[in-house]
A = this chain, B = another copy of it.
Amino acid sequence: MSAAALNPDVLVALLHGPDRPGIVARVSGWIFERGGNILHADQHHDRSSGVFIQRIEWTPANPSAAAADADAFRAFANSIGMNARVSSSGARPRIAIFVSKFDHCFHDLALRWKSGDYACDIVAVVSNHRDLEVAARGYGLPFHHIPVTAATKDDAEAAQLALLQSLDVELVVLARYMQVLSESFLAQFGRPVINIHHSFLPAFAGGRPYHQAAARGVKLIGATAHYATAVLDDGPIIQQDVTRVTHRHSVDDMIRLGSDLEKIVLAHAVRWHLESRVLVYGNKTVVFD
């Protein structure tokens, strides 16, 4: 599943558009005619909406012409009515991690990145608190302290945006960042933001989800990684998982057990995003895992 990560010469396309006969044949034919070799291809036909979605990985005939091939593929896809996003496995997206005080998701992401498991560059750790500054610098990551209060929220978001833009950040990961990003911030940033919410959404959206879960008496607690949108905890879901709890578990126990869920759910979502496995589609995702 990690061919792209291992091979710098692989192109990965995610394409979608109106379904009609022959798309698979034309796409694979185009690649074959240019001497490419398809490594993986997975497609989905959404019957209810008539949409065709495909993820395809291939090695171009001439690695040095990969960028040209990517451009040519985009043009070809458009010519058959498809929207395409093409990335090269050699590219390393620039990402920023937003944190507050909880550190478990941050350490988890940083260690996976440090071990070479994530093909990306973490170019900034941004926090409204200083608690994780030493940890971030310990991993060799630049740390930016941007405090946020009700009064300064607009200014703080402006500072965050300026930072992201100056660093050309392509993905923001909210690793238990305890502030809600405004609709305006998301619109201006205009690039994906992945959030981890500590419940099985849509159950227990909003604040203190473990307390909500304990009050309702559920037998499973969950975590949900999703793209952030203007509506809180309502964006397209990338990954979810749950773990069993009983009456013996206090809210503190749920928080502890849940933190392991949060780490693994966020880790999968980030990995799939980095490997171009996630296509947003309506308010849902198709994940080619």
Contact = CB atoms under 8 A, between A and B. Distances in A.
13 contacts: A2-B250, A2-B253, A2-B256, A21-B35, A24-B41, A25-B25, A28-B29, A107-B111, A200-B220, A201-B203, A216-B237, A219-B287, A260-B264
A196 to B, nearest CB: 14
Interface stretch (A42-50, A88-96, A149-157, A186-194): A42-50
Interface string A19-54: 001101110110111011111111111111000010
Copies in the complex: 4
B203 A217 contact: no
Interface of A: 1-2, 21-22, 24-26, 28-29, 31-33, 35-48, 53, 103-104, 107, 111, 115, 117, 138, 200-204, 216-220, 222, 236-242, 246-250, 252-253, 256, 260, 264, 267, 282-287
Contacts of A21: 32, 35-38
A154 to B, nearest CB: 31
Q: Which 4 A-B pairs have the closest CB atoms?
A: A217-B284, A25-B28, A25-B32, A203-B203
B247 A218 contact: no
Given A31-B25, A247-B44, A252 B2 contact: yes
Contacts of A218: 200-202, 237, 240
Contacts of A287: 219, 246-247
A200 B43 CA distance: 29
A239 B216 contact: no
Given A21-B35, A25-B32, 17 more contacts: A1-B249, A2-B253, A24-B38, A25-B31, A25-B33, A28-B28, A40-B43, A44-B248, A53-B247, A107-B107, A117-B256, A201-B218, A202-B203, A202-B218, A217-B236, A217-B282, A219-B287
